[in-house]
Structure 1
Amino acid sequence: MTPNKKIYFASDQHFGAPTRQKSLPREQKFVAWLDEIKEDAEAVFLLGDLFDFWFEYKTVIPRGFIRVFGKLAELRDAGIPIYFFIGNHDLWMDDYFEKELDIPVYRRPKEFSFNNKLFLIGHGDGLGPGDKGYKRMKKVFTNPFAKWLFRWLHPDIGVKLGQYLSVKNKLISGDEDVKFLGEDNEWLVLYSKRKLESKHYDYFVFGHRHLPMTIEVGKNAKYINLGDWIGYFTYGVFDGKNFELKEYKS
């Protein structure tokens, strides 16, 4: 890492929910945060569910979010790497970010090493034990034939339907009640501990749970959940030595 630079992490903005009008203040706050961190950002990791619903037709994307797109483009044009991990609400992302914004998109957790610290980074949905209903639904949603069928819906119908189901149907969204389940029942904690049995990681960084958490899962190993930009407005920052969860209050 470059001296005096930092790596930033954020997840679960869910822009567009419950309505575009009500999510606009959150969008503006997130853009202000991006504008602030661009001064010392070595890289930015977005860990999924940036949108509450996302689907890419061949020539059409959902309307809105122009402020976010513009600021992300500004950071990329300034040479700041941005990495995006698909969440359960933006499962149907294709290549728009890669082609239009030069932002690589990842569909599974991925390892990164910074200053000799090994990170495993991902959104977090469908990992660990339990949540079998969502895991079955995810297989349907990620099936190429299902995506092909949905693409035949006119965008005015498809996007409206997708937005409605994303907000209303908890099985489809994969969301759970946002409450701490206890260390022995948090399935991303269990997933992290299981991964440590075969390889050491210094940090497991995930989103999806909407709860800011830092939990010791092994010797010199921490599980970190980034929280969200709905009720907590929390983000992670790694300065080359330590990882902190912070709240954006501006």
Structure 2
Amino acid sequence: MQLPPGKKIYFSSDNHLGAPTQELSKPRERKFLDWLDMVKEDAAAIFLLGDLFDFWFEYKHVVPKNQVRVLGKLAEIADSGIPIYFFVGNHDLWMFGYFEEELGIEVYHEPKKFEFNGKKFLIGHGDGKGPGDKGYKRMKKVFTSPFFQWCFKWLHPDIGVGIARYLSVKNKLISGDEDAKFLGEENEWLAQYAKRKLLKEHYDYFIFGHRHMPMEISVGEKSMYFNLGDWISHYTYGIYDGQTFELKKL
């Protein structure tokens, strides 16, 4: 993609809408809606890097009922011709076609390469990558098992969604937040993941979420790793203007 003059690419991650309760989440939801209205004015594309919701599961005929304003806003933006790319996170990995079919949003389950104005990006949520996150890696094998998903869908949505939302908030192993503190540039496992990727292929930028902390770490002579932070404590997001990438705070 070559950005048109005056256009930018925007990146956001880890909103966790619905946590810890729907009512307490509403002010954060409103901030995100206002942000979407702001960025759509000059956006060439919008990347959402997962954990938009604190829980999401698509049954065959049912999706969670909350955050309808967010879904409507995303549909409006996509219908206007601005592409939106969504990378599932560890809290909303059970996406099976609703975003693509109803909202016109591309959904990815693994990091993906992009090139903008000659710069190479590797973009993803970041869960289960690198040498850390061991507890969650074990749980992810269960969550992504077709048999487990088949079993879960047979629970009545009122029961299944209720259990999942409770565990999403209470169980740090399931949430992937067991290491939610800065580990130092040399020990940050997504930075280490980026360095390993550079052994095989050059990237200018690695853009991830999941860690809930805004970060900017050099991982090579001409390569940077950015973590987008979150919309719980930091309200940070990323912008690429065709020449440089930077983190911004609301």
Q: Shorter chain as normaliser: what TM range?
A: over 0.9
CA distance in 2, matches of 1:93, 1:14: 15
What are the equivalent positions in structure 2 for 1:97-116 lying under 5 Å apart?
Answer: 97-116=99-118
What are the equivalent positions in structure 2 for 1:19-30 lying under 5 Å apart?
Answer: 19-30=21-32
Calculate percent identity across the aligned residue pairs.
Answer: 70
Q: Which amino acid aligns with 1:93?
A: M
Secondary structure of the residue that 2:227 maps to in structure 1? strand
Q: Which amino acid aligns with 1:119?
A: F
Question: Which of 56, 61, 64 is equivalent to 1:62?
Answer: 64
Secondary structure of the residue that 1:42 maps to in structure 2? strand
Secondary structure of the residue that 2:162 maps to in structure 1? helix
Matched, 1:208 2:234: no
Q: Report Cα offsets for 1:37-77 as digits up to 9, x if no partner.
A: 11100000000000001111000011110110111011111
CA distance in 1, matches of 2:235, 2:180: 15
Q: Show structure 2 runs of 5+ residues with no match.
A: none
CA distance in 2, matches of 1:23, 1:12: 13
CA distance in 2, matches of 1:161, 1:23: 18
What are the equivalent positions in structure 2 for 1:33-182 lying under 5 Å apart?
Answer: 33-182=35-184
Q: Which amino acid aligns with 2:9?
A: I
Following TM superposition, by how much is the alpha carbon of 1:138 offset from its aligned partner in structure 2, in angstroms? 0.3
RMSD of equivalent CA atoms? 0.8
Secondary structure of the residue that 1:129 maps to in structure 2? coil
Contact preservation (8 Å) 2:117, 2:242:
yes
Q: What's the TM-score once normalised by structure 2's chain length?
A: 0.98
Secondary structure of the residue that 1:214 maps to in structure 2? strand
Which residue number corresponds to residue 241 of structure 1?
Answer: 243
Q: What's the TM-score once normalised by structure 1's chain length?
A: 0.98
Secondary structure of the residue that 1:118 maps to in structure 2? strand
Contact preservation (8 Å) 2:127, 2:133:
no
Secondary structure of the residue that 2:120 maps to in structure 1? strand
Contact preservation (8 Å) 2:133, 2:179:
no
Contact preservation (8 Å) 1:28, 1:67:
no
Q: Which amino acid aligns with 2:162?
A: K
Q: Which amino acid aligns with 1:40?
A: D
